[in-house]
Structure 1
Amino acid sequence: MLKSLQHKCFQASLMTFDLPDSLILDTALSVSGLTDYIRLLLEQDEQLRQVWVTGEVSSANHHRSGLFFTLQDTDRTAGIKCVVWNSQLPKLAQMPVAGEQIIILGSIRLYPQRGEYQLSVWQTLPAGVGLQALRYQQLKNRLLAEGLFDAQRKRSLPIHPQTIAVVTSPTAAAWGDIQKTLKQRYPGLHVLFSPATVQGEQAPESIVKAIERVERDGRAEVLILSRGGGAVEELACFNDERVVRSLASCSIPVITGIGHQRDESLADLVADVCVHTPTAAAEMVVPSLSELYTEHRQRVVALHEAVHDSGENAENKLQVLRNRLRRLRLDRQVQQEVEKLAWKRQHLVQITMGRSQQAAQHLELLRQKLATLDPKAVLQRGYAVVRREDGAIARSAAELAVGEDLLIQLGQGRVKVKVIEVNVDA
């Protein structure tokens, strides 16, 4: 159909006005035919089916079917009507607002009733700085979802580092400020400098390589990444995903000193500590020796005062105890207890002596009884003990035989006799 329409238009262009009316009517197009021809030309064009257009929004009106507005050049030399259907509105990254610069992705469509073409919008993005802000926010949200900005993963800086690495431009004022501050605050500190480009398209790769050099060296205990202030576009390298991930995976603590307080880069968010100037980073990374000495003297004074106060408190407590002892008259109580103990001792001695005398008397009685029962004592009274040859005591005359030898135990000595007669009747 498109080719036939093109052929008819070509043929019509060769005709002159002096041709018969019937021939003109046969070759003339209807309005809808011409409109369809133009619509096909526009809508089948590969470039116009998906086109990016930038401009300023004007005459934005909400309709029940969608949002209608005009996109025009800033110098007002050209404009194009645009429509965003209601189904597409929630998908827009940037809502068209009159007076704002935007970038539109859409396709050309022809409105037959009016013979007007318009841009059917699929997506809108902020232009210029707004586009950078959108990309920044999208990357920030993605890294935030990964947990790269979580406080739990941030490490504390070493208290007294001996070796510090600095990543910045060798020609930047930031490097001079850091050197001066470190030298004033902590003389003798070992500083490793890893130069990098901190502005422009090559900056992200340069910063990543500088960080890798520090890690390969292995001596640094903390790393400073810094540059001075600048425009937003000059600080773009610190929002680069490569730089952010390099800082997140760095094996040593990182402190950033980038730009000024109004600037917040993704590198600041992922760093373990962030401050807003290179000088502030140098001040935070090392203590001041003069401040340390002052703090030391203050601790000595405080310790001396604490010891003195502790001694005074102890002396006061001791005096209080002395006063309490005086009020309690413990000396009198001790004297009374001593007297009680002396009386009990005397009483115990008396009881012990009485029992000892009773025991001695009882012992004498037993001794006397034992003496009376002693065979020797009986013998002393004139009695004798007769024993046979086997040592057995002779208790009856009937046990003895004439001629048998006997041993007689007297009170004084022993005699040996021989039985010459046995009389059992006596």
Structure 2
Amino acid sequence: MVADTLDFKAVSVAGVTEYIQLLLEGDENLRNIWIIGEVSSARNHSSGCFFSLQEPDGSATLNAVVWRSQLPKLNVVPTVGEQVVVLGQLKLYPKRGSYQLTTWQVLPAGAGLQALRYRQLRNRLASEGLFDEDRKRPLPLFPRCIAVVTSHQAAAWGDIQETLTQRHPGLQVLLSPAIVQGEQAPKSIVKAIDRVAEDGRAEVLLLGRGGGAVEDLVCFDDERVVRAIATCPIPVVTGIGHERDESLADLVADVCAHTPTAAAEQIVPALHDLRNYQIQLLQRLAQVTGGQLYQHKTGLEQLARRLQRLQPERQLNQACQEQNWRRQRLLKVVAQHLQAAQHRHQLLSEKLATLDPEAVLRRGYALVRESSGNLVTTTDDVAPGDAISIQLAQGRIAAEVINLEN
């Protein structure tokens, strides 16, 4: 009867182990899982690093391994007593019937994780050139309107107002309020910066906050805040009061000051400093002007001495005398040429008068022409009976040849 009651099907150890392995390694939630815990043990081996994670109270333990090929890729090496966050996949080791976490990455937990994320973000933004010095803009020398992004309830806002009033009375200050602490701070700061850009009146922006705990200031390491500062159309000055390393907002800002008061002092010069600077400029102007006047006076004295040596009046008198002499000489030569021309003209006129045929006619001579009009100069030019004309000084006579005498 006992044998009849034991009617069941037995499963081998390998079969159970394989089934559990399929369940464990086939679960999507366990293939790529982040686990946080404290390193309770760590042992280096030729094949890799074997370590254990446990709860802080020791209520649970998980074995893990980082194979040798993956060790150089870890951000941190498992160290006993350290809190870490581990990325890996749960796998079953059939020979021992135990499971362990095959680890791909180990990160520090808590403050260490925040520091790692800070370094990674800082390196990525730096590779984009957001922290380069050549992209930083100079501040306006004498801004007429500035914008302040901070909490209107914070003491930093009062410090900024007091500093600006003392250093530069009459300066227009615009407050764009923002939350500067907590989870909502990054989004609020970005909106406040955008409001200033849309308003368009401010020439420079001051992002300020007083001192506080490190965890209260993480909003200034937020990537959204960094990019809002980088794309702001006007120069940005940060005045975030803390003693730790510079925030990412400080690195991307055009000018960085470690307190809101120092930031306000960076933006506007003090009036008494301007007066002192003006006095220095006036003194320097007087020195430069005096030096130039002395140089010009010396130059004029040198020119005066040179004029005395050259005696320009004497040279001018000599030139005038020479000009008068040349003028007289020219008039004399012209008169001589005119007299010679007049004498030549008289001679030519007399000669022309002697050659004038009318003058010959007036002396009693006559011109004889044949019927064709040609002059008769010899008896051979005409014959008896030819008609001829005789031109006298006054009038003309028609005649006929009667006789010819050689």
User: What's the TM-score, normalizing by structure 1?
Assistant: 0.72
Is 1:54 matched with 2:54? no
After TM superposition, the structure 1 = structure 2 runs for residues 295-314 of structure 1, keeping only pairs within 5 Å, are 295-314=277-296
Query: Who is 2:253 aligned against?
Result: 271
Residues 252, 185 of structure 1: alpha-carbon distance in 2 compared, 3 angstrom cutoff: same
- Summarize deviations over 1:98-142 as a string: whole Å, max 9, x none: 564322234566778888875543321112211101111222233
Are 2:366 and 2:390, in contact at CA under 8 Å, matched by a contact in 1?
no
Query: Who is 1:102 aligned against?
Result: 84
Q: Equivalent of 1:246, from 221, 228, 233?
A: 228
- Summarize deviations over 1:164-217 as a string: whole Å, max 9, x none: 221111222211111111112222122111211111122122222322333343
CA distance in 1, matches of 2:84, 2:223: 25
* Offset of residue 236 of structure 1: 0.5
Q: Equivalent of 2:109, from 127, 147, 152?
A: 127
Is 1:176 matched with 2:153? no
CA distance in 1, matches of 2:366, 2:160: 129
* Offset of residue 220 of structure 1: 2.6
CA distance in 2, matches of 1:45, 1:282: 61
Are 1:168 and 1:195, in contact at CA under 8 Å, matched by a contact in 2?
yes
Query: Who is 1:23 aligned against?
Result: none
Higher mean alpha-carbon deviation, 96-105 vs 205-214, is at 96-105
Higher mean alpha-carbon deviation, 232-241 vs 97-106, is at 97-106
CA RMSD of aligned residues (A): 4.5
CA distance in 1, matches of 2:17, 2:387: 184
CA distance in 2, matches of 1:377, 1:117: 162
Residues 57, 275 of structure 1: alpha-carbon distance in 2 compared, 3 angstrom cutoff: farther
Is 1:383 matched with 2:361? no
Q: Equivalent of 1:408, from 375, 392, 397?
A: 392
Higher mean alpha-carbon deviation, 189-198 vs 92-101, is at 92-101
Is 1:425 matched with 2:379? no
Residues 418, 75 of structure 1: alpha-carbon distance in 2 compared, 3 angstrom cutoff: closer
Query: Who is 2:8 aligned against?
Result: none
Which ranges in structure 2 are unaligned for 5 or more consecutive residues?
1-10
Are 1:56 and 1:74, in contact at CA under 8 Å, matched by a contact in 2?
no
Counterpart residue identity of residue 104, structure 1: V
Residues 383, 399 of structure 1: alpha-carbon distance in 2 compared, 3 angstrom cutoff: farther
Counterpart residue identity of residue 383, structure 1: G
* Offset of residue 92 of structure 1: 1.6
CA distance in 1, matches of 2:73, 2:400: 160
CA distance in 1, matches of 2:297, 2:322: 35
Are 2:25 and 2:92, in contact at CA under 8 Å, matched by a contact in 1?
no
Which ranges in structure 1 are unaligned for 5 or more consecutive residues?
1-28
Residues 140, 51 of structure 1: alpha-carbon distance in 2 compared, 3 angstrom cutoff: closer
Q: Equivalent of 1:318, from 290, 300, 305?
A: 300
Residues 215, 101 of structure 1: alpha-carbon distance in 2 compared, 3 angstrom cutoff: same
After TM superposition, the structure 1 = structure 2 runs for residues 7-406 of structure 1, keeping only pairs within 5 Å, are 50=33, 52-56=35-39, 60-69=42-51, 71=53, 82-97=64-79, 100-106=82-88, 119-151=101-133, 153-260=135-242, 262-324=244-306, 348=330, 351-375=333-357, 377-379=359-361, 382-385=363-366
Are 1:70 and 1:80, in contact at CA under 8 Å, matched by a contact in 2?
yes
Higher mean alpha-carbon deviation, 279-288 vs 225-234, is at 279-288
Are 1:53 and 1:105, in contact at CA under 8 Å, matched by a contact in 2?
no
Q: Secondary structure at 1:197's aligned position in 2?
A: coil
Counterpart residue identity of residue 164, structure 2: L
- Summarize deviations over 1:22-65 as a string: whole Å, max 9, x none: xxxxxxx99x88x969986995796877461322566x543321
* Offset of residue 321 of structure 1: 3.5
Counterpart residue identity of residue 425, structure 1: L
CA distance in 2, matches of 1:103, 1:249: 35
- Summarize deviations over 1:255-311 as a string: whole Å, max 9, x none: 222234643222223333332221222222233333334333433443343333222
* Offset of residue 386 of structure 1: 5.9
- Summarize deviations over 1:203-242 as a string: whole Å, max 9, x none: 1222223223333433333221110222321110111222
CA distance in 2, matches of 1:417, 1:371: 22
